[in-house]
Structure 1
Amino acid sequence: MESILFYGIPHGCSFGSIVALEWSNLPYRLARIDMLTKPAGYDRLYPTTQTPALLTEDGEMLGESLAVLNHIAARDLGKKLGFAQGTRSFDRVNEALAFLHTEVHGAFGPVWSTFKLAVDAATKDMLRAYGRDNVAHVLGKLDSRLAGRDWMVGEHRTVADAYLVGIVRWAEDLQLFRLERDYPNLHRLVARLEQDPAVIFAHAIEAGEPAVTSGRFLGHVAIEDLAQRHAA
């Protein structure tokens, strides 16, 4: 069977996995997860209820962005979204993914928590200011890393670029920074990625709008149907 990606809305980091699947040209389906309400039955499929999660072709559930992205890249190394394990290029992509996940993604945590925690306005302001400082620091490092580079790693796009475009957008979504003004090297890469058909497709999918695949997207599946099938 084809793989099924469980992606989160609103504005989940699973955006990058959608982009990577489009780039891979592997057949796949999508399952939509509202991260604020968590659809009934998802916990039976994936107990942590986080996204992304990938139901692989052999029926195994695989979670966490790094694992999902590396899995997609490894399915067809000829696409050069990743590299063979044990090579220097693989190490560099893995290093980039780890940096994006632990430092960049993690820096936004305090700001996102202001939408989830039942705390007073002063505490929310403190969390937002603390998070903004963290984000400024890591985006500065990322911007420096991208000076003179066209991509995160090497001379062509990889799953690291797919992941990047899905998480650095939070800087503007959360009204923390303007990439064009504050981080020009990062903005240059993001602006190019935003013109990519796979990225345009992923935005439309998240928004629930008509989306034109440039890969082999086969449609959405309902969580309820998958949960019933799993229970059987």
Structure 2
Amino acid sequence: MEPILIYGFPLGSSMGLVAALEWLGKPYRLCRVDMLGEMREPAYARINARHETPALVTDDGRVLTETMAIAHWFAARDAERRISPDPLSADGDRMRQIMAFINSGFTGAFSPLWVALEMDPPRPAMQASMREFGQEAVIGRHDKLEAMVGDTPYLVGDRPTLADALFIGVARWLEFHGVADPARWPKLAALRARLEADPAVIFATALESGDSVTGSGALRGHVPLTEVIDRFGA
């Protein structure tokens, strides 16, 4: 069977993994999940007890969670090296290093902003403090990632890799939370422009929005969440 990537909307970090599957070019299926609704329902715990996306149903029917684990699953099956360098090369080390930073400190810096946004019932004083802390953290992490960007068009070399996929799924949160002008970081802004013009990223973003679009042909269709839970849930 084809693997099934469970990805979230709106503005899920998992959008980048959809783009990575397009770059990889192997047959796959998707399951689109409302993170503000379906993902919070008790039944979803059968897929991920932490009620998070992404999740992956592997080609042998196992459920794999956590972005880094899913990305490494993709890389292990990238025999043509379309989305990952040779794992024993310097570029392979660099890709994993950047992925780890994006998936930890860079993504995590936004957490106070999401918590403040979703706090119910509202606690204005706490929310204001969390927003201030979160904005400072996001700016600091952008500064650090800007310093990590090299002279190549993408984060690792001349074509997008899994590092770029993880980045583009999260980068748009900067404007959503109104933290700062992306132009403050010229290298990251240029990278975003290249990725946002990439057909796979355009395709993944359109799917996230619920649009009916045509990609590379690797996507074999969407599977309803209820079916995924019934067939593969614990």
Shorter-chain TM band:
over 0.9
Aligned length: 231
Q: 5+ unaligned residues in a row in structure 2: which ranges?
A: none
**Does structure 2 retain, via aligned residues, the 8 Å contact 1:146–1:152?**
yes
Check conservation: 1:3, 1:57, Cα contact below 8 A: yes
Give the CA deviation at 1:32. Answer: 1.3
**Alpha-carbon distance, 1:147 to partner:** 5.1
Mapped contact 1:6–1:32 kept (Cα < 8 A): yes
Is the counterpart of residue 28 in structure 1 residue 31 in structure 2? no
In 1, Cα distance between the equivalents of 2:128 and 2:233? Answer: 44
What's the Cα RMSD here? 1.8
Q: How many Å apart are 1:229 and its aligned residue?
A: 2.7
Shift of residue 227, structure 1, vs aligned partner: 2.3
Please point out which of 151, 156, 165 is paired with 1:153. Answer: 156
State how far apart, in whole Å, the 1-side matches of 2:224 and 2:66 are.
21
The answer to whether structure 1 residue 19 and structure 2 residue 19 are counterparts is: yes
The structure 1 segments of at least 4 consecutive aligned residues displaced by more than 4 Å after TM superposition are: none
Residues 164-223 of structure 1: per-residue CA shift (max 9 Å, x gap): 11111100121111212x111100010011111110011111111122212401111111
- Aligned partner letter, 2:19: V
CA contact (8 A) 2:30 2:221 kept: yes
| 1:44 to 1:82, Cα distance in 2 relative to 1, 3 A | same
Can you give the 5+ residue segments of structure 1 that lack an aligned partner in the other structure?
A: none
The 8 Å contact of residues 62 and 232 in structure 2, kept in 1 or not, is answered as no
- Residues 1:190 and 2:172 are matched in the alignment: no
Give secondary structure in 1 for the equivalent of 2:160.
coil
Contact 1:38 1:49 (8 Å CA) reproduced? no
Whether 1:44 aligns to 2:73 is no
Q: Secondary structure of 1:210's match?
A: coil
Q: Percent identity?
A: 38
Q: Is the 8 A contact 2:55 2:64 kept in 1?
A: yes
TM-score (norm 1): 0.93
Give the distance between the partners of 2:113 and 2:79, measured in 1 at CA: 37
